[in-house]
Structure formats: structure tokens, C-alpha cells
Amino acid sequence: MTARTETEEVERANTTFYEAMERGDFDTLSGLWLEGDDGISCVHPGWPVLNGRGDVLRSYALIMANTEYIQFFLTDVSVAVRSDTAVVTCTENILSGGPAEENGDLGPLVGQLVVATNVFRRTSEGWKMWAHHGSPVLAETDEEPDDETPA
Amino acid sequence: MTARTETEEVERANTTFYEAMERGDFDTLSGLWLEGDDGISCVHPGWPVLNGRGDVLRSYALIMANTEYIQFFLTDVSVAVRSDTAVVTCTENILSGGPAEENGDLGPLVGQLVVATNVFRRTSEGWKMWAHHGSPVLAETDEEPDDETPA
């Protein structure tokens, strides 16, 4: 067996982060953030900055409680490792839905295009998240999004 | 004289970055980004991710060419240093204006609330920017913005 490269390890940690969100797995998500009371930061799309483990983890508990369904299709994943820190950028193609309606119907599904910068730090227990910054893509790009419309 | 603490050094680099933007000083701005062809990333508010020095610096040249006036009032600056990497989060209270009108009037001034995550790396020539991610604040906050309205 070939040992995983650093880049693969970081990409694995990044994927685990989004999979935990998809499953609403708060314990895994909490375990992925660096320990210690300060020094971590998180920006959800359109939100102000959250600093410190308390505020960051509370925000995820709140998001999970209000999200019935969420799926991330990651594209453009780029990993840069320098010593014990890694910066990952990626596009989060998100499909999400709110809590079910009273009549039992699924809540409305919403597609959203978000880009993220995720900073990871190497620890004895693997790569842990130091900072997450997600933001909505509002500007036009040179690419042709029409080409990507599913048939 | 007391030596600057690491945190002060990082905060100084962060301030220099915004001052270079205010002055339209492309050389200082370029010099603040890590050298090397890949590994740096930049997200302007509402934009997709830019990876690599070429795309990142071109975007700043474009922004500077289209910005007659820009001023950053930084608040909530938070610095976390771990070994040779630093993560800065801050709120950029931006006042900017486009190119002057044909009749010589100033272009329209626009206020904008942006939050940023800036990642710096320690080098032999000081702290250099590894990643910048800025995003518009769209969500409601608990604070009372009315209290901050100038008299």
C-alpha cells in the first residue's frame, strides 16, 4: 500500500467536513475543528465572522436544526500545503431543503453556488479545521453555465 | 524599544494590505503576496475563487483600474498565529467610488460591509499573504446598526 500523500490527507479531511454536514453529524463536525477556546473562525455565506469554538459550533447546531436536507457537490478543489498548514479552496454546489411542511411534504429545495476557503492545521490526530469561509458567488464568470445544465 | 509581538507584525501586514489598496499601490500589493506560481488564492466579494499569482494579481490590477476611490475602515480585527501561519479575520467597512463622470463630477460613492479571512505565512521577508477571502454580509445580526449611524 502506498501511504497517502499530504494533499490526499487534507482533501480527505475536507471531504469529511462536508459529509458530516450532509449527515447532520454534529459530533464528527465538532471533532474536525481545532481544539482550544479561541483561534478558530467561521464565515457562513452572507454571515458576519464567528470567532471561537463556542460561537462556531453553536452556528452549526443551528444550521443542522433548520436543514432537513443538504448535499454538497464539490468542484474546483485546490489544496496548498505549507509545513503544518493547508489551505483548501473549492466550489460548493449546494442543494438544500428546509424542514418538511406540516402536511408532510418536503420543504422547498434550493440550489446555491458557494465558494469556500478552508484552512486546516496538522495535529497528532490528523488535519483539523482552523478557519472556514464560505461566500455566495454573485458575479458573472467567463464560463458558460448553460453548458452545465443537465439534459 | 520593545520588539513587536508576532500578533502586531501580522496586524501590521494586514493593515499594509488595505493601505496599498487605498493608495492604488499595485507594487506594494504584489509584494505582499507569497511568491511562487501556485498555492495562493483570492476571493473578492461575490466572485468565484482565483488561484495562482497570475489570476490574483490581474484581478487587483482590474479592480484598481476601475476604482477611483476606496477606503477601508477595519473593525473586529482578530489575529491567530500558529507557528509560521497566521489567520486574520476582520470586517472591512468599505467606502468606494467609481471613475469620475465625464463632466468631472466624482463617481457615485458606495458603502459596503464585507468580512474577510486573510491567511499569512511567515517568510524571511516578513509575513506574506497566502489567501484572502472577502464576502458581503447579507444576514441580519443581533447588533443594532442604528446606534452606529453618524449624528
Of B46, B78, B80, the CB nearest to A137: B46
Q: Where does the pLDDT of residue B49 fall: very low under 50, low under 70, confident under 90, or very high at 90 and above?
A: very high
d(CA A38, CA A31): 15
Rounded to the nearest 5 percent, the helix, strand and coil shares of chain A are 30, 40, 35
**A138 vs B contacts (CB less than 8 Å):** 45-47, 136
Mean of the pLDDT values across residues A22-46?
93
The rounded Cα A50 to chain-centroid distance in angstroms is 15
Q: How far is C-alpha B110 from the geometric centre of its chain's CA atoms?
A: 17
The yes-or-no verdict on residue A4 having pLDDT over 60 is yes
Q: How confident is the model at residue B105 (pLDDT cuts 50, 70, 90)?
A: confident
> Average pLDDT, stretch A46-60?
96
Q: Is residue A145 part of a domain?
A: no
pLDDT > 50? residue B146: no
Identify the residue whose cell numbers are 453529524. A25
Q: Is the residue at B143 inside a domain?
A: no
Inside any domain, residue B130: yes
**Between chains, do B117 and A39 touch, taking CB under 8 Å as contact?**
no
Average pLDDT over residues A103-127: 90
Question: For B121-132, how does the pLDDT look when each residue is reduced to its tens digit (9 = 90+)?
Answer: 999 999 999 999
Average pLDDT over residues B43-71: 95
pLDDT band at B102; cut points 50, 70, 90: confident
pLDDT of residue A103: 77
Q: Per the domain annotation, does B53 fall within a domain?
A: yes
Range of the domain at B108: 3-135
What's the full length of chain A, in residues?
Answer: 151
Does residue B150 lie within any of the structural domains? no
CATH number of the CATH domain containing A93: 3.10.450.50
The total number of structural domains in chain B stands at 1
pLDDT-above-90 percentage for chain B? 73
Note whether residue A151 is domain-resident: no
Note whether residue A147 is domain-resident. no
State residue A146's pLDDT score.
45
B140 domain-assigned? no
Instruction: Kindly tell me the burial class for residue A37, based on how many C-beta atoms sit within 10 Å of its own C-beta (0-12, 13-18, 19 or more).
Output: exposed
On whether any CB of chain A is under 8 Å from the CB of B83, the answer is yes
Structure confidence at residue B139 (pLDDT): 58
How far does CA A114 lie from the centroid of its chain?
Answer: 10
Residue to substitute from A66, A87, A121, interface B, most B β-carbons within 10 A:
A87
Residue range A31-60: mean pLDDT, rounded:
93
pLDDT at B97: 81
From the list B91, B119, B115, B112, the residue with the least C-alpha distance to B13 is: B119
Average pLDDT, chain A: 88
Cβ proximity of B67 and B90 under 8 Å: no
Enumerate the H helices of A93-142 as residue ranges.
none
Of residues A91, A89, A93, the one with CA closest to residue A11: A89
